[in-house]
Structure 1
Amino acid sequence: MTLELSPDELLSTTRAVRRRLDFDRPVPRALIEECVDLATQAPTGRNRQRWHFLVVTEAAQRREVAEVFRRALARGEAAPLTRDDLVRMNVQPGTMSRVFDGVRYLADNVHRVPAFVIPAVEGRTDTASAEVQAGTWGSILPAVWSFMLAARARGLGTVWTTAHAPLERELSAILGVPYDDVMLAAFLPLAYTLGTDFKPAVRVPRDRVLHWQRW
């Protein structure tokens, strides 16, 4: 069963869900497979279709993966923020404190999330040119966003995270992924949401991001 959302509603209310994940309700395998089927319809550079989606639902495996996620989150380094970054991040007062509270809540409870979806892409970009990086990430990102939209339409919540990155090699070993050939692009907790009444976010005004003819 899908939610009755118009395309505009779906696009404007697919939020990063951290605090409203239902830890007690399993997500059916068939539902995840539907989302993956839709994700693989996303456009991809040169039609190479290098996407992969690893799904972890078994309890012991989730605990092991969750522990790596928490340790990696503690080790992660964020890019330095500019003054413009700070303005955009705080366009609505209190937003960032809520985001950080949500990150802490998710970290504390990540082992309780019923499913992890870890999108991966063939080909590492660690030392690649900007052109190669753009092509690789430009392939996997549309597929993952399509997955997240499909999940939202089915009453499921996700949040794009890359917290696993500092320990990607360790996570790859746990999951049997050939690290030298495949990148774990993201780490998506997946669960039914507590309620489905998500709203559009407050963003910076259009005139701050829209440019006509020239910058």
Structure 2
Amino acid sequence: MPELTAHELLTTTRSVRKRLDLERPVDPALVRDCLETALQAPSGSNAQRWHWLVLTDPEVRREVGALYRKSCRAYLESPHAAGRLYADDPQRSKVQARVNDSVAYLADRMGDVPVLVVPCLQLPSEELPEGNQAGLWGSILPAAWSYMLAARSRGLGTAWTTLHLRYEKEVAEVLGLPSNVRQAALIPTAHYTGDTFKPARRTPLSEVLHENGW
């Protein structure tokens, strides 16, 4: 894979769903290499309470995939589903429909993705602390995104999803997680088909930028 500039990497790391190669194995060393990069991310007070579950066992992936599919079906039927957003905007609704379709596609195949990565935080107690949730999750989300960027730079596709957390306890039982370990996301990881990614169309900065106040 050609080396990407920082700008290219940041603007072309997309959520890969339909283009994940479900047949091609992923070298475990490649995933470990990406996780080594992820460990360089910042965490609150430099606590580094993160843990990473790498799921490659077919039966474990199947069980997690089944729970993900169950949750995703409920999501797709809800008013918050991607395909129901911006229905009054003809251009944007087309994009949302494609996103909705790709989400449904992955939901039926999550258990077939060669590698599933679950970033977690180990907390001092079983309960989430009150108050500053941004500080808590800010200690794992940058590292998870670094993992996804590292994967992109090494020819792997990923997608960020948290839909499985509707059944967080059930997934935790499948994975044997201690009661004080909380999951942050589920990141399917695989080689991808095709060879092109481009920046996505986004809301113009002028519409979301606020200087010195709202």
Q: Confirm or deny a common fold (TM above 0.5).
A: yes
AA aligned to 1:16 is S
Show structure 1 runs of 5+ residues with no match: none
Structure-2 residue corresponding to 1:130? 131
Q: Is the 8 A contact 2:17 2:106 kept in 1?
A: yes
- Partner of 2:53, secondary structure, is strand
Deviation at 1:69, TM superposition (A): 1.3
Q: Does 1:201 align with 2:205?
A: no
Q: Is the 8 A contact 1:91 1:202 kept in 2?
A: no
- Partner of 1:164, secondary structure, is helix
Q: Is the 8 A contact 2:37 2:146 kept in 1?
A: yes
Q: Which moved more, 1:184-193 or 1:56-65?
A: 56-65
**Deviation string, structure 1 residues 17-36 (Cα, Å, up to 9, x no partner):** 11100001111110000010
- Partner of 1:173, secondary structure, is helix
Structure-1 residue corresponding to 2:146? 146
**Cα distance change, pair 110–211 in 1 and its aligned pair in 2 (3 A):** same
Structure-2 residue corresponding to 1:106? 106
Aligned ranges 1:12-91 → 2 under 5 Å: 12-76=11-75, 86=86
Q: Does 1:94 align with 2:94?
A: yes
Q: Is the 8 A contact 1:119 1:186 kept in 2?
A: yes
Give the RMSD, CA atoms, in angstroms.
2.4
AA aligned to 2:173 is A
Taking only the aligned residue pairs, the percentage that are identical comes to 47
AA aligned to 1:63 is R
- Partner of 1:213, secondary structure, is coil
Q: Is the 8 A contact 1:116 1:189 kept in 2?
A: yes
Deviation at 1:90, TM superposition (A): 7.2
Deviation at 1:78, TM superposition (A): 6.5
**Cα distance change, pair 90–163 in 1 and its aligned pair in 2 (3 A):** farther
Show structure 2 runs of 5+ residues with no match: none
Deviation at 1:93, TM superposition (A): 4.8
Structure-1 residue corresponding to 2:156? 156
- Partner of 2:14, secondary structure, is coil
AA aligned to 1:60 is E
AA aligned to 1:74 is R
Structure-1 residue corresponding to 2:210? 211
Q: Which moved more, 1:61-70 or 1:20-29?
A: 61-70
**Cα distance change, pair 101–210 in 1 and its aligned pair in 2 (3 A):** same
Compute the TM-score of the two structures, normalised by the length of structure 1: 0.89
**Cα distance change, pair 90–137 in 1 and its aligned pair in 2 (3 A):** farther
